[in-house]
Amino acid sequence: MKGTFIGELEELVLLTSAFLANEAYGVAIVAEIKATTGREVNIGAIHTVLHRLERKGFLTSRLGGATSERGGRRKRIFSLTPSGESALTRIFQIRTRLYKKIQPTFS
């Protein structure tokens, strides 16, 4: 089971990648995390997390088309894999069970 658990930033990146689908690349992920959570994240940290999640098999990547606004450089687009989806489902189930145990406190 080692290597299959994910941290908070990894979870945010996986969720955001799933949400952005074909537009899930570093800068877009940073912008979406900031817009959704108000959290400032460093692009370098996001790239590190994206590559770690790819090594774990939770994401795959491909090169998108070159654009003039990027000086002809191509974007690396990330996609959720079935293993990534399973990891998100597992963490959702764990969090849900824990919240249900303390639910009366949130009423």
Rounded Cα distance, 91 and 14, in Å: 11
What is the band of 1 on the pLDDT scale with cuts at 50, 70, 90? very low
Lowest mean pLDDT among 27-36, 49-58, 70-79, 91-100: 70-79
Give the DSSP H/E element, type plus range, for residue 29. helix 26-37
Domains parsed from the chain with CATH numbers: 8-106 (1.10.10.10)
Write the CA distances from 9 to 80, 81, 88, 107, integer angstroms: 15, 18, 13, 28
57: Cβ–Cβ under 8 A, 6 or more apart, which residues?
81, 83, 84
Three-state secondary structure string covering 42-106: CHHHHHHHHHHHHHCCCEEEEEEEECHHHCCCEEEEEEECHHHHHHHHHHHHHHHHHHHHCHHHH
Predicted confidence (pLDDT) per residue in 8-62, tens digit: 999 999 999 999 998 999 999 999 999 999 999 999 999 999 999 999 999 999 9
Model-level pTM? Answer: 0.85
